[in-house]
Amino acid sequence: MSAPLTIIGSGMAGFGLLRQLRALDAERPVTLITADGGDDYAKPLLSTGFAKHLPPGRLAARSALDVADRLGAVVRTHTRVDAIDPRARTLSIGAETLAWSELVLATGAAPALSFDTAEALHDRIFTINDLDDYRGFHAALTALGRPARVAIVGVGLVGCEFANDLVAGGHRVSLVAPERAPLPRLLPEPLGRALGEAFAGAGMRLRLGRTLAAFETLGSEVGLALDDGSRLEADLVLVATGLRPRAALAEAAGLEVGVMGIQTDRLLATSAPGIHALGDVACVDGINAMFVQPLQAGAKALARTLAGTPTPVAYGAWPVLVKTPLLPVVALPPTRAPARWRIEGEGGDLAAFAEDEDGRLIGFALTGTCVRRKVELARAAPPLLG
């Protein structure tokens, strides 16, 4: 029997590709291997569950077994691939060696942690990057039996969305980060400050411009010592200090990898014949967007390529909709430094236009009622990957 097409990863990239492939080719043997439980779920929903008091089971659309059945694939869960051999076209899982005909790396991105958490605090300090993480944090919140004091470290998209969601769920949230305003990679500072004001207005404590020096054990609480000598106390801590592409397998196998992930061309082909990369782990022609729309476009194009029609991927001007109902935010960050940001509006209703030297729009950011302009502005902005 010929070796199967093998996909590593059951996130939106891995399962998305499997669905697209099956729409084109019902017969080809496909194996999907995943280190986690293989639940089919939409990761963006993780930061909307606490407001609605959703138990983890309500976030999963279907189980791995169900996906395997419906899509006619072998799905191996709780199975970590330890190494890949591009020349022999094999991969290793412990002592087991499996052959593949073509391989797709959809291993996602992992939380970037730049400090130690003491052993004693492991049941109180969390990251949430998959459904299993959500399960762990949800259980810790539920075990308290009362609204929790949650300290969130990091004010990027993940930190801000969880902050908004937890406050909406009745919890008390503190936000700590070295930046002076939330969403520093998506918003120019005045718009970030508007979001910070909306957060403060909802009762959040913002400790911005402050770096975490250390975690401390304080009985059943966690202490956060900050660089100005001040302290915060919390029941639980959520660390949201960014994500790094999980490219170790590719790197160890000698594939071209950079800080933004596994390098691919627009066919999602890596530097090794027969190996493609997709989703948060892939840096496609210099861009790693780490959002759903680009990975869906990639899954569609790669399915066609694997079915015999080489299809380069293209990304449109797809703005990011940040799930902060306290102040709605939409952003299309420019892919290069703008000559200027032009900002209009007042209060929480702001529109910022990133312009190049010739005054052309190369990105934008919108808050409050200005988010209505997203379609009009996206039409005028250049594509992410044209």
Contact residues for ligand FAD, defined by CB under 6 A: 8-14, 33-36, 43-44, 46-47, 80-81, 106-109, 129, 158, 161, 246, 249, 279-280, 290-293, 295, 323
Rounded to whole angstroms, how far apart are CA atoms 168 and 161? 11
Q: Which residue's CB is nearer to ligand FAD, number 80 or number 340?
A: 80
Q: Return the number of the residue (250 or 350) whose C-beta is nearest ligand FAD.
A: 250
Distances (CA, A) of 138 to 24, 46, 120, 132, 143: 39, 11, 19, 10, 9
15 or 341, CB closer to ligand FAD?
Answer: 15
Q: Which of 163, 167, 147 is nearest to 155 (CA)?
A: 163
Query: CB 127 → ligand FAD: shortest distance, Å?
Result: 9
Q: Whole-number minimum distance, CB 284 to ligand FAD, in Å?
A: 12
Between residues 41 and 215, which has the closer beta carbon with respect to ligand FAD? 41
Decide whether 207 or 246 has the Cβ nearer to ligand FAD.
246
- 3-state helix/strand/coil string of 152-174: EECCCHHHHHHHHHHHHCCCEEE
CA–CA dist 336, 104 (Å, integer)? 29
Name the minimum Å distance from CB 81 to ligand FAD: 4
- Closest separation in Å from C-beta 175 to ligand FAD: 15
**DSSP letters along 73-109, please?**
-EEE-S----EEETTTTEEEETTEEEE-SSEEE---E
The least distance separating ligand FAD from the CB of residue 289, rounded to whole angstroms, comes to 8
- Based on the number of CB atoms within 10 Å of its own CB, is 231 exposed (0-12), middle (13-18) or buried (19 or more)? exposed
Is 261 within 8 Å of 281 (Cβ atoms)? yes
Nearest to 99 by CA among 184, 33, 38: 33
Nearer to ligand FAD, 77 or 311 (CB): 77
Q: What is the amino acid identity at position 45? A: L
Least distance from C-beta 83 to ligand FAD, angstroms? 9
Who's near 351: CB < 8 A, 6+ residues apart? 343, 344, 345, 364, 365, 366, 370, 373
Considering the complex, state which of residue 108 and residue 182 has its C-beta at the smaller distance from ligand FAD: 108
CB of 78 to ligand FAD, least distance (A): 9
Token pair of 202, please? 């909802």
